[in-house]
Amino acid sequence: MGVEDHELVHPDAISPTLRCPICTDVFEEPVSCSACQQVFCKTCIEHVLLTCKPACPTCRAPLTKSLQPNFLVRSLLNELHVRCVHPGCYWTGRLDERAAHGTHCLARHLLLMQEWKIQLENMRSVLVDGEKERSAMRRHIELLSSHKMQLEEEAKVQQLQLNAKQHMLDFKQQEVDELRCQIGQVMKQHHASHFQLHSLFPLLFLFLFVLHVWFFYDILPAVLGIRDCVLSTQVAYRGWS
C-alpha cells in the first residue's frame, strides 16, 4: 500500500507517473523492474510475487533477483506536501519530514495514551475478574474446610460411641463368661449330688429288703391274725430241717 490521497495536501496535483499500477496510490518505498523500469511500491510487488508467479505484472519478465530501490522517484516523493495521519493533528510538511514529526506528534502520543489506557482498563478488568475468582475460590475453600471440620467432629463422636459400645460389649462378654463359669460350677455340683444319690441306692435297696421281710413276716401276719400259724410253720420247718 502506498501513500493514500487523504494524506496528501494536494492529491489532484499529483502526476500519474508517481502512482503505483498495483494499488493506484502514490509510491511508498519505490522499487523498479530491471526489464521495463516500471516502478511499484515495495510491499505491493512483494505481495504479488508471493501470491502469484514471480514475474513483473507489466512486462511479465521474471523477477528472481531482489528488486532495486528507485532513488530518483524517492527524491521526487520526498518533496510532496503531506499531512500528519493522526486525527487532531494539523501538521503539514514534506514527506521525508513526516517521520521526524511523528516522534513528537502530540496527537500520536495522545492516541497512544488512549490505547494504553484502554489496555490498562482491560488489564484492570482482568485483575478484578481474577480477584473475584480468587474470592469465590477462597469462599469455596472455607466452605470445604468447615465441612471437613464438621466431618471430623462427627467422626470423633462416632468413634466415642463406638468405644462406649465396645466397652459395653466387653462388659456383657465378661458377664456371659461369669455366668458360663457359674453354670459350669452348678453342673459340677449337680453331677456330684447325682453321684452321691447313686451311691446310696444299695443301702436304700437293703433297707427296703429288710423292711419288706419285716413287713411280710412280722407285721402282716400280726394284722391278719395268722402270726402264730406262721411261727409254728417256721418252727416245724426248722425241725424238719
- Among the listed residues 8, 31, 33, 80, the single contact to Zn ion using CB under 5 A: 33
User: Between 58 and 73, whose beta carbon lies closer to Zn ion?
Assistant: 58
User: Between 89 and 230, whose beta carbon lies closer to Zn ion?
Assistant: 89
User: Between 84 and 95, whose beta carbon lies closer to Zn ion?
Assistant: 84
- Among the listed residues 9, 10, 36, 135, the single contact to Zn ion using CB under 5 A: 36
User: Between 76 and 230, whose beta carbon lies closer to Zn ion?
Assistant: 76
Cβ atoms 33, 58 nearer than 8 A: yes
Question: In the numeric block, which cell numbers belong to residue 92?
Answer: 503539514
Q: How far is the CB of 16 from Zn ion (least distance, A)?
A: 13
Q: How far is the CB of 135 from Zn ion (least distance, A)?
A: 45
State yes or no: residue 9 binds Zn ion (CB under 5 A): no
Q: x/- binding map, residues 42-81, to Zn ion, per CB under 5 A?
A: --x-----------x-xx-x--------------------
Q: Containing H/E element for 30?
A: strand 30-32
Q: How far is the CB of 142 from Zn ion (least distance, A)?
A: 56
For cell 436304700, name the residue. Answer: 204
- Secondary structure letter of residue 17 according to DSSP: G
- Interacting span for Zn ion (CB under 5 A) from 97-105, 133-141, 145-153, 222-230: 97-105
Q: State the SS3 of 68-127.
A: EECHHHHHHHHCCEEECCCCCCCCEEEHHHHHHHHCCCHHHHHHHHHHHHHHHHHHHHHH
Distances in Å between the alpha carbon of 201 and those of 193, 194, 197, 204, 212? 13, 11, 7, 5, 16
For cell 528472481, name the residue. Answer: 64
User: Between 60 and 191, whose beta carbon lies closer to Zn ion?
Assistant: 60
State yes or no: residue 2 binds Zn ion (CB under 5 A): yes
Phi (first) and psi of residue 40, to 5 degrees:
-135, 160
Please tell me the distance from the alpha carbon of residue 225 to that of residue 161, in angstroms, as a whole number: 88
- Interacting span for Zn ion (CB under 5 A) from 107-115, 118-126, 199-207, 218-226: 107-115
Binding stretches for Zn ion (CB under 5 A)? 2, 20, 22-23, 33, 35-36, 38, 41, 44, 56, 58-59, 61, 84, 86, 89, 91, 105, 107
